[in-house]
Amino acid sequence: MPEAVPARQERLPDPPLLHLLLPKWLTARARATAQTRGKGARVAILALTGLLFWAFIFGVLARLLTYFRGVQEIGELMAGKLLGLGLLGFTSLLLLSSVITALSSFFLARDLDTLVAAPVDWLRLYGAKLLETFVASSWMVLLVSVPLFMAYGLVYDGGVGFPVIVVATMLPLIMIPVTVGTAVTLILVNVFPARRTRDILSVIAVLAAGGLVLLFRLLRPEQLARPEGFRDLVEFIALLRTPTSPFLPSEWAQQVVMGALTDKIPWLSLYLLWSTMGGVLVLGALLHRRGYPAGFSRAQESAHRQVSKWGSLARLPHRVLAPLGVLRRELLLKEIRVFFRDTTQWSQLILLGVLVVVYVYNIKFLPLRGPGITFFLVNIVPFLNLALAGFVLASIAARFIFPAVSLEGRTLWLLRSSPMCVRDLLWAKYWVGTAPLLVLALGIVGVTNHLLQVSSFMVIVSLGTITLLTLALAAMAIGFGTLFPQFETENAAQIPTSFGGLLYMMASIGVIAGVIILEARPVYSYLSAQAFGTTADPTEMVLGFGAAALLCLIVTLVPIRIALTRLEAVER
C-alpha cells in the first residue's frame, strides 16, 4: 500500500475588496476619459450650472448666517437649529435613497452573478457593495453640503481646521443611514421577492418624501421667522434651545459643527457619531452574513405578475379609442399600460400631487387682501403665477415626457422593422404625455385664479397662455428627448438628469420667459386702462398676444419636426 502523502495545504483565492470595486472604477475612468462629440461643451455647461447652483446656495446661506450672527442671544441658536434641520433632511434623504440603491447594488446589479459565483469572502462582498451604495446614494448630499459648510465656515470664521472637523462629522453621519438603509433592504428582500420589493419601496419612498414635504409646509415654518407670533421671547428661545431629538445622529453632528465654530468641540457627540457608525456597521455585516445568501437567492426568483382581468370593462378603452384606428389605438394603449404598470414611473405622481397641493396652499395664503394691496398687484400676481406654473409644468414634462423616446431604446427593433410611421409613434407619445399635463395645467391655473379672485380678462389670458405653453413645453420635451436619447438607461428617473434634460430645462425657462415678456406689455396696458378708465390700444394687444402665440406655435412644431427626422435616422 503506498504511503499516504499529506495533502498539500491549498491556498484559497482571496480577492481584496478593492479588486471587487475595480470594474466600477475602470468603468468610471473610461467614461471620464472617453472622447465623444461635444463632450467639452457638455462638461463646461454642467460645471457652470453646478457652480451657479453652489453660488446660489452659498449666497443665500451666507446672507442668512451673517444676519443671524448679528442677532444677540438667539442668532447662534437659530444658525444651529437651521444646520440641525438641514442635516436631519440629509439623513432622511440618505436613508430613503440608500434603501432603494441597496436593492439594486446588492440584489439586482448585473455583476452580482459573477461576484456571488466567485470565491469572494462574504465580508469583502458586503464591504464592496456597501461602498458602492454609499457613493451612489450620497453624492448629491455631498455636493449640496459643500456650499453649506463653506457658508458656515466663512461666516463663523471656522479656520483651517474646520474642513477636517466637517469630514470627520459627515463620514459617520452619512455612513449610518446608508448602513441602516442597506439592512432594511436586506430584511425586505427576505420577505418579498426583490422585483416586487422595488415596487413597494418606490411607493413607500415617494409617500414618505411627499408626507415630509406636506408636513413641513403645513407647519408653516415662516412663523418661526416672526418671533412676534410667540407669547414672549423666553418661550421662543426655549424652543430654539431644545434639540430636535437628542438621539438623532444629525443632532450630534450639528453640535460638533456648531461647537467647532463657536465654542469648543463636544467630543462626546463626535464619539457618539463614530461609535454608532461602528455599531451599525458590525450589526449590518452580521445581518448580511445571516440573511444575504437566502435574500440573493430569492431575488433571482421572478415575481409572478398576473394582470387582473376586468371582464367587459377591459374592452372599454378599446371601444373608446376605436375611432383612432388600430395602430394609433394600440400605440396609445401600450403607452398607458407600460406607464401605469411601472411603479417607479407612476409612484412619483404622488409626490407631484403633494407639490401641487403645496403650490395651491401657498397661493391661498398670499397676503393679497387688505390695505396697500392695489388692483394692479391682485392682477399681476396671477400673471406672474403663470411663469411659476410654466416652470412646474416644464419639470413634470422633463420627468415624464422627456424620457419617452429613450425608454423605447430596447424595443426600437420592433417598431423600426414594422410598417408603422415614426409620426404615429411620436403622436402617441406626445398626446399620452400632453393630455394629462394640460388637464393639470388648466387645473392649477384655474384653481389659483379662483383663489386670487382675478378679473375675467386675466382668467382668459392665463388659461389661453398656459394651454399654448403646455403644448409647447411637451413638444420640446419630446424634441430634446429624441435629440439626446439615453437608450441604454433602464431607469426613467435618471434620464431627465442627463445633459439633454438640463438643456431642455434651460430652453424651457427661456421660452416661458419669452412668452411672459411678450405678454407683459399688453397685460400692463389693459390693466392701466382698467384702472384709469381709458381704452387699451388694440394694436398693442394683438401684437403682444399674437407674438406670444406665434412663439408657442413655433416651439411646438419645430421640435416635433426635428424629432421626427432624428428618430427616422436612428439605427439600433
Partner 1 sequence: MIALRQLTKRYGQFTAVNRVDLTVGSGELFGFLGPNGAGKTTTLRMIAGILQPTSGSIHIAGVDLLRDPVAAKAKLGFIPDRPFIYEKLTGAEFLRFVAGLYDQAGPEVEQRARELLSLFDLEEWRDELVESYSHGMRQKLIISSTFVHRPAVIVVDEPMVGLDPKAARILKDLFREYTRRGHTIIFSTHTLEVAESLCDRVAIIAQGTIRAAGTMAELRRELADGEEGLERIFLRLTGENAARNLIDVLDA
d(CA 405, CA 60): 38
Which window, 12-20, 60-68, 412-420, 442-450, contacts partner 1 (CB under 8 A)?
A: 412-420
Q: At closest approach, how far in Å is the CB of 10 from partner 1?
A: 22
Can you tell me which of 135, 338, 483, 536 binds partner 1, judged by CB under 8 A? 338
Residue 417 binds to partner 1 (criterion: CB under 8 A): yes
Residue 325 binds to partner 1 (criterion: CB under 8 A): yes
Residue 491 binds to partner 1 (criterion: CB under 8 A): no
Residue window 280-309: x/- pattern of binding to partner 1, with contact defined by CB under 8 A: ----------------------xxxxxx-x
Nearer to partner 1, 231 or 305 (CB): 305
Q: At closest approach, how far in Å is the CB of 333 from partner 1?
A: 8
Can you tell me which of 39, 319, 341, 561 binds partner 1, judged by CB under 8 A? 341
Can you tell me which of 56, 223, 413, 561 binds partner 1, judged by CB under 8 A? 413
Residue type for 397, please? A
**Binding-site size, partner 1 (CB under 8 A):** 35
Residue 494 binds to partner 1 (criterion: CB under 8 A): no
Q: Is residue 114 within 8 Å of residue 24, measured between CB atoms?
A: no
Q: At closest approach, how far in Å is the CB of 562 from partner 1?
A: 18
d(CA 132, CA 22): 11
d(CA 248, CA 88): 8
Residue 419 binds to partner 1 (criterion: CB under 8 A): yes
d(CA 181, CA 50): 28
Q: At closest approach, how far in Å is the CB of 206 from partner 1?
A: 18
For 464, list phi and psi in degrees, rounded to 5: -65, -45
Q: At closest approach, how far in Å is the CB of 37 from partner 1?
A: 13
What is each CA distance from 134 to 51, 123, 127, 495, in whole angstroms? Answer: 24, 16, 10, 21
d(CA 126, CA 343): 28
Q: At closest approach, how far in Å is the CB of 156 from partner 1?
A: 52
Nearer to partner 1, 124 or 416 (CB): 416
Nearer to partner 1, 428 or 472 (CB): 428
Which window, 126-134, 149-157, 419-427, 536-544, contacts partner 1 (CB under 8 A)?
A: 419-427
d(CA 467, CA 435): 11
Burial of 173 (0-12, 13-18, 19+ CB in 10 A): buried
Residue 110 binds to partner 1 (criterion: CB under 8 A): no
For 110, list phi and psi in degrees, rounded to 5: -70, -20
Which window, 139-147, 248-256, 353-361, 564-572, contacts partner 1 (CB under 8 A)?
A: 564-572
Residue type for 377, please? L
Which window, 98-106, 364-372, 380-388, 416-424, contacts partner 1 (CB under 8 A)?
A: 416-424
Which window, 156-164, 259-267, 333-341, 438-446, contacts partner 1 (CB under 8 A)?
A: 333-341
Q: At closest approach, how far in Å is the CB of 496 from partner 1?
A: 20
Residue 421 binds to partner 1 (criterion: CB under 8 A): yes
Per the listing, cell 383663489 goes with 451
What is each CA distance from 413 to 116, 331, 357, in whole angstroms? Answer: 33, 15, 41
Instruction: List the interface residues with partner 1, window 392-411 (CB under 8 A).
Output: 410-411
Can you tell me which of 418, 494, 534, 565 binds partner 1, judged by CB under 8 A? 418
Q: At closest approach, how far in Å is the CB of 475 from partner 1?
A: 24
Burial of 185 (0-12, 13-18, 19+ CB in 10 A): buried
Per the listing, cell 411627499 goes with 210
Nearer to partner 1, 67 or 413 (CB): 413
d(CA 470, CA 463): 11
Q: Is the dihedral of CA 92, 94, 98, 101 positive or negative?
A: positive
Residue 572 binds to partner 1 (criterion: CB under 8 A): yes
What is each CA distance from 472 to 97, 103, 149, 552, in whole angstroms? Answer: 33, 38, 40, 5
Instruction: List the interface residues with partner 1, window 7-36 (CB under 8 A).
Output: none
d(CA 16, CA 173): 26
Task: Using only the alpha carbons of the chain, give its radius of gyration.
Answer: 28
User: Whose CA is closest to 98, among 139, 137, 143, 131?
Assistant: 137
Residue type for 285, please? A
Q: At closest approach, how far in Å is the CB of 411 from partner 1?
A: 6
Q: At closest approach, how far in Å is the CB of 419 from partner 1?
A: 4
Residues that bind partner 1 (CB under 8 A): 195, 302-307, 309, 325-327, 329-331, 333-334, 337-338, 341-342, 410-421, 569, 571-572
